[in-house]
Every structure is written in structure tokens, then in C-alpha cells.
């Protein structure tokens, strides 16, 4: 059932005044519409970024398909509007609405945010405010939707704690339906008991319902029931429950059998070009390796795989229901999939006759790479690899077990089979980094370009994309500080000065963006007022380069008293209490402590050798 009056107003009055209006229309191929009067619960998946980004996110398609597969729930979508559309919504006093039915966000039972990137935090506030939902969790009553958030950023929920009712930790497929059902049960009970009162009474009813939810669901973190305690020096001492009926720590939700979890058979086909216009199939969750810098390998344990036939069948169904001409095989490390060669062979047999390309966005540099060029007969636009660092001793320190020989042989085979471009992902600013490590990045990129000249007759185009290392929560490096702005500026300049081959491009991630990501990912609850203040001062869609004003953020952090130098650059002892310690991960903190101690020992040995 569509709110025709609201839709008519938006289409006739607002959309003629904005860019790319199709992203605000809904009605795409495979979008699901249900009569709200015939379902028990209404969920809106809210992606805190533009439509072109959110519609490229595989997790949104998975959860959308999962919840709409149920007869008793409807699941719809909303995205952060661009600046022009936000202005039009505010000018016309029109609430942010779902694309499927033009229902205002405030009319849903549950609003679910996926927090993929810390720089998007202000967008959550934009969507809540435009949707008519109080920004502060403690100001909501039972008449307001339950505001939940999941995704990798939920691993340190504290900076967004005042704005979110419940953080969902771990896998979303088993946790989201259970959370939605539980909340609906509590909401219906409250309605029967007159719990939809306004004001203090209504807020108290919501408080009790949230406490019941937190007590029942071990993966649900309700931050209002946890109080941080700080020492006289400003260091965090503890985060303590304020009620006896909520758990002290939060356990992640984990899928036991990934192969049994259905993949979207009919993903939505966007109206406009998105970042990834293709079918995405997750073939494996988790990673067999244990790189010390990587948060995903920790929070996505244990390793789980889908069977080859499951993957091929899901890809074929999605192709028939969409007509996309590219299929991306997703995992943290696709070439580590245990049946990799068999999968590529079956995908080639099935999709090459249909003219469908197979994309592998996350190849690991290993012996499997040598055979990719012969196994993969579709996409020749570029080979993407992530060596991360270029020297053996630094690889040992970060626990990235790859060899240059495998990398170079694999690239040579790719050039022989028609590839023309290689993209390499590196990091700078890692603990113990030296000038020779930066030299190695340029040397590796130029070596690959020369291999291309031998095979192609001209230097191959190689892009070395260099990100600035952020010590993320729940990694062995979480006790390390981030490198300074001055060091990163020097490192970027040094890398560019070393380049000699014009076909090689050195692209460095913006430093201010990385520093802000560091503050928002490593900060505690004292960062939350700065997020609110930056938003009030105009922070919008900051993950878009043209929108980010770093000065606005640094001023907001200073105005609320956040010591950025401490949050970003102070190394912590192993016994320090960290803002995310109450969020548990597989293997636990003890494993991370051991890995950090080993890393420190290896760094000491490296320093002695030089």
C-alpha cells in the first residue's frame, strides 16, 4: 500500500528540483511491496549514505530478501538524501520516507541502520531527524520505532551510543528476525497495557521494554544500561551495567551453517548507475588467516563456506531475475575458498555462454593466484590484489603470509591472458614502518609494470592505492596509536618522489579522512557530543570528498573537550581498559594480547637488525 498523497507531492513538487531524482522514486525491478495492513511488523533498512552506495551493499540485499521472505513482516528501504533533496524535504516539511511505500520513517516498528564506515555517522542523525524520530534514544517512547544498528562499526558502539537503542553484534541473518519479533511482542504487550503514553510515562515503558530485550538477547547491546567510568587522568576505567538484569558483556550472533542461509534470488535492480552494478554472491564468511591489522578476520570468525552448487544455483537464479552481466564472488579472501578452482570452472561453464563476467574483488596473493588467469575467462579490465606491504620482514610482523614470487608469477600469467591493469592495495603508517618499507611499495608496483612490458610490449598500468593505517578495535594492533598527520604527509610525499615509471600511479588516501576515521573508531562515549555538534554545524555525507570539512570536525571535538591527541596517537598498555572491551569476539581479548606481544617482540628484532 503506497502513500499516494505523499508520493504525488514528492514526485510533482520536490523531484523536479533535485539531481538524479530516480533514486528517490522506488518501484525498481524486484522491489517488494506489501500491504501494511496485512503484516504484523514493519521494518525499514536505513543505509546512512547515498542510494548509489547503499544499493551496492550486499548485506542490505540479503537482509531485505530475508525479512520480506516472511509473511508477517514487510521490509522497506531508505537512504541518506543528497544535499539538494534534504533541503527540499525540509523546505516542504516532508518526512524522509521508505522507497517502497512512501511511508515516513517514524511509522515503522523498527529502523535498522548498517554502520559500515565511521565517517557516515552524521548521516544517521540526518535520517533520524528527517524521519521525525528523536535523535536521543532516551527521548523516545513506545510510539517511536526501535532504532537498531549493526555492521562492523557496531564493534565499538560507544561513539554512537546516545543515538541508538540497540546495537546488534555479529551476523545479522539470525539476529535481525529474532530482535524484530521480540520487539514486536514487547510493543504489543505495552500497547495492551496502555504503554504508548507520551512524556515521562511513555519513556519509562520503553525503558522497561528495552531492558527485557537486553536480558533475552545476548547479542543485543542497549547502551543506556551501561555507564562508563573514568579515572582522574581521563582514562576509561570500566563500563558497568546499571541494572542487574542486563549482561556485563555482549556475545556475537553467529551463523553455524552459512550454506543453509538463502542468498537473494531476486536482488533489486537499481534505476540508476551505482558503485557496483552487478550480482554479488558471498561464497565464504571469515578468513583462514590472522593478519594483525585486520578487524574483519577477528569479528567474522569462525570460517564458514558455501558449497559450489549452492553458489552456482544462487548466481543463476539472480541472473535470470535481474539480467546483470557481471557476478562478483565475495569473501574476505576469495582465492582462499577451499574449492576455488572447481568454483571458477563451474562458473565459467555456466556463465561464459551467457556473456556474463565473473569478478573476484578480493584475491589473496598465493599459489592460487598463478592459475586465476587461465581459470577466469571473463573480466579483463583489471586484477586487484592486496599485498598490504612489500617487504618480507614487515609481512612477518603483520602476519600477512604471502610471497613476491607468487605475486609476480600471477601478474605475468594475467598479462599473458589479456589483463592490462593491476591495482595493488597497500598500507602506510603501520607499527615499525621504515623508509625501506615505503621504497618497497614503489619497487613492487614498478616491477609488475616491467613484467607487463615483457608480456605486452609496453609498461603495464599499475595503480598502488595506499591507505593510512588505523588501529581498529578487536585487532592485535588495537593498543597502538595512529601515526601523526605530519608523518603521513611525509610518507605520501616520499612515495610519490620515488616513482620513476609513468605507467605507475601512486594514490594515497586523504589524511584528514583517515584521522577522523581513527577518532570515530577508537573513541569512547565522550565522542558522541562531538558527532551531534558537527552534524548541527552542517556535517553531511562526509564520506564524499567534496562534502567533508575536516575543520568542522576538529572544532566540534575541541568544543566538547575530546583530547584528539590521546584518542588517536596514545599507545595503551596491554592491561588498559578499552572502550569496546564489553563487546566480545571469538577467541577473546587473551588471543589479541598474545598477538600484540609477539608483534612488539618482532618489531624489537626488526629495529635491532637495522
In this structure, is residue 356 part of a structural domain?
Answer: no
Query: For residues 458 and 418, which has the higher predicted lDDT (pLDDT)?
Result: 458
Reported confidence tier of residue 402, pLDDT bands at 50, 70, 90? confident
CA-closest candidate to residue 196, choices 142, 138, 134, 139 = 142
* Residue 102 predicted with pLDDT over 60: yes
In whole angstroms, what is the distance from residue 327 CA to residue 340 CA? Answer: 15
Q: Is the pLDDT of residue 448 over 70?
A: yes
Positive or negative: CA dihedral 22, 23, 25, 27? positive
- Residue 307 included in any domain: no
Residue 160 lies in a domain: yes
pLDDT digits (tens, 9 = 90+) for 303-345: 999 999 999 999 999 999 999 999 999 998 888 899 998 999 9
Residue 70 lies in a domain: yes
Q: What is the pLDDT of residues 19-35, one digit of tens each?
A: 999 999 999 999 999 99
Q: Would 74 be classed as within a structural domain?
A: yes
pLDDT at residue number 377? 46
Instruction: With cut-offs at 50, 70 and 90, classify the pLDDT of residue 12.
Output: very high
Average of per-residue pLDDT across 403-413: 87
Residue 378 has pLDDT above 70, yes or no: no
What's the CA dihedral at 4, 7, 11, 15 to 10 degrees? 180
Helices 121-130 & 528-536, crossing angle to 10 degrees?
A: 60
Strand partners for 506: 464
> What pLDDT score does 401 carry?
82
pLDDT of residue 404: 87
Nearest to 576 by CA among 493, 481, 496: 481
pLDDT tops 60 at residue 379:
no
Rounded average pLDDT over 104-132: 98
User: What pairing do the DSSP bridges indicate for beta strands 421-428 and 304-305?
Assistant: unpaired
How confident is the model at residue 6, as a pLDDT? 96
**36-50, 114-128, 164-178, 283-297: least confidently modelled range:** 283-297
| pLDDT in the model for residue 366 | 59
184: left (phi over 0), alpha (psi -120 to 50) or beta: alpha
Give the pLDDT band of residue 56 (cuts 50, 70, 90): very high
Whether 606 maps to a domain, the answer reads no
pTM of the model: 0.96
* pLDDT tens by residue, 204-229: 999 999 999 999 999 999 999 999 99
Neighbours of 599 (CB within 10 A): 22
Across the chain, mean pLDDT equals 94
Query: How many domains does the chain fold into?
Result: 1
Residue 256 pLDDT > 70: yes
Percentage of the chain with pLDDT > 90? 83
Domain around 173: 40-226
| CATH number of the domain enclosing 149 | 3.40.50.280
Instruction: Write down the pLDDT at residue 381.
Output: 60
| C-beta of residue 98 within 8 angstroms of C-beta of residue 108 | yes
162 found inside a domain: yes
Residue 215 within any structural domain of the chain: yes
| pLDDT score of 609 more than 80 | no
pLDDT at 380 over 60: no
Amino acid at each position: 500500500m503506497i502513500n499516494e498523497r505523499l508520493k504525488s507531492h514528492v514526485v510533482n513538487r520536490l523531484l523536479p528540483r533535485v539531481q538524479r531524482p530516480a533514486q528517490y522514486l522506488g518501484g525498481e525491478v524486484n522491489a517488494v511491496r506489501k500491504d501494511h495492513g496485512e503484516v504484523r511488523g514493519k521494518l525499514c533498512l536505513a543505509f546512512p549514505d547515498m542510494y548509489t552506495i547503499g544499493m551496492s551493499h550486499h548485506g542490505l540485499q540479503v537482509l531485505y530478501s530475508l525479512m520480506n521472505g516472511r509473511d508477517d513482516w514487510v521490509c522497506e528501504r531508505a537512504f541518506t538524501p543528497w544535499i539538494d533533496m534534504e533541503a527540499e524535504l525540509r523546505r516542504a516539511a516532508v518526512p524522509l520516507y521508505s522507497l517502497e511505500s512512501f511511508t515516513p520513517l517514524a511509522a515503522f516498528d523498527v529502523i535498522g541502520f548498517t554502520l559500515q564506515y565511521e565517517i557516515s555517522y552524521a548521516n544517521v542523525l540526518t535520517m533520524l531527524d528527517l524521519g521525525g524520530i528523536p535523535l536521543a534514544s532516551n527521548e523516545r517512547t513506545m510510539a517511536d520505532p526501535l532504532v537498531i544498528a549493526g555492521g562492523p562499526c557496531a564493534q565499538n558502539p560507544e561513539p554512537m551510543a546516545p543515538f541508538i537503542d540497540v546495537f546488534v553484534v555479529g551476523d545479522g541473518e539470525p539476529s535481525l528476525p529474532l530482535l524484530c519479533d521480540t520487539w514486536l511482542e514487547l510493543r504489543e504487550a505495552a500497547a495492551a497495557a496502555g504503554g504508548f503514553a507520551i512524556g515521562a510515562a511513555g519513556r519509562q515503558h520503553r525503558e522497561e521494554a528495552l531492558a527485557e530485550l537486553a536480558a533475552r538477547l545476548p547479542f543485543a547491546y542497549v547502551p543506556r544500561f551501561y555507564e562508563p567510568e573514568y579515572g582522574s587522568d581521563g582514562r576509561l576505567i570500566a563500563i558497568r551495567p546499571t541494572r542487574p538484569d542486563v549482561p556485563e558483556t555482549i556475545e556475537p550472533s553467529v551463523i553455524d551453517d552459512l550454506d543453509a542461509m538463502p542468498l537473494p534470488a531476486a536482488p533489486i535492480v537499481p534505476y540508476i548507475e551505482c558503485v557496483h552494478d552487478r550480482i554479488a554472491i558471498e561464497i565464504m564468511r571469515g578468513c583462514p588467516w590472522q593478519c594483525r591489522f585486520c578487524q574483519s578476520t577477528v569479528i567474522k570468525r569462525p570460517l564458514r563456506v558455501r558449497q559450489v552448487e549452492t553458489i552456482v544455483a544462487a548466481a543463476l537464479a539472480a541472473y535470470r531475475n535481474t539480467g546483470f552481466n557481471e557476478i562478483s564472488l565475495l569473501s574476505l579472501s576469495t582465492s582462499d575458498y577451499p574449492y576455488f578452482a572447481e568454483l571458477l570452472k563451474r562458473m565459467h561453464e555456466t556463465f561464459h555462454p551467457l556473456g556474463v563476467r565473473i569478478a573476484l574483488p578480493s584475491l589473496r596473493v598465493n599459489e592460487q593466484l598463478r592459475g586465476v588467469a587461465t581459470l577466469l575467462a571473463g573480466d579483463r579490465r583489471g586484477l586487484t590484489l592486496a599485498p598490504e606491504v612489500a617487504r618480507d620482514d614487515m609481512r612477518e610482523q603483520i602476519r600477512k603470509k604471502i610471497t613476491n614470487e607468487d605475486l609476480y608469477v600471477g601478474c605475468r600469467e594475467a598479462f599473458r591472458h589479456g589483463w592490462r591493469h593491476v591495482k595493488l592495495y597497500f598500507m602506510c603508517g603501520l607499527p615499525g614502518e621504515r623508509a625501506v618499507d615505503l621504497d618497497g611499495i614503489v619497487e613492487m608496483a614498478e616491477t609488475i609494470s616491467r613484467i607487463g612490458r615483457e608480456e605486452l610490449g609496453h609498461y603495464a598500468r599499475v595503480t598502488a592505492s595506499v591507505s593510512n593505517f588505523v588501529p581498529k578495535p578487536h585487532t592485535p594492533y588495537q593498543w597502538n596509536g595512529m601515526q601523526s598527520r605530519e608523518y603521513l604527509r611525509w610518507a605520501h610525499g616520499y612515495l610519490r618522489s620515488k616513482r620513476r615509471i609513468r605507467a605507475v600511479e601512486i594514490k594515497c588516501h586523504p589524511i584528514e579522512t583517515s584521522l577522523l576515521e581513527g577518532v570515530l573508531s577508537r573513541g569512547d562515549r565522550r565522542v558522541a557530543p562531538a558527532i551531534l555538534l558537527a552534524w548541527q554545524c552542517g556535517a553531511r555525507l562526509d564520506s564524499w570528498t567534496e562534502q567533508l570539512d575536516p575543520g568542522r570536525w576538529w572544532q566540534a571535538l575541541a568544543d566538547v573537550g575530546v583530547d584528539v591527541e590521546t584518542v588517536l596517537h596514545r599507545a595503551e598498555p596491554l592491561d588498559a581498559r578499552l572502550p569496546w572491551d564489553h563487546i566480545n569476539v571469538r577467541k577473546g581479548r587473551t588471543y589479541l594480547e598474545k598477538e600484540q606481544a609477539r608483534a612488539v617482540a618482532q618489531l624489537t628484532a626488526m629495529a635491532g637488525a637495522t
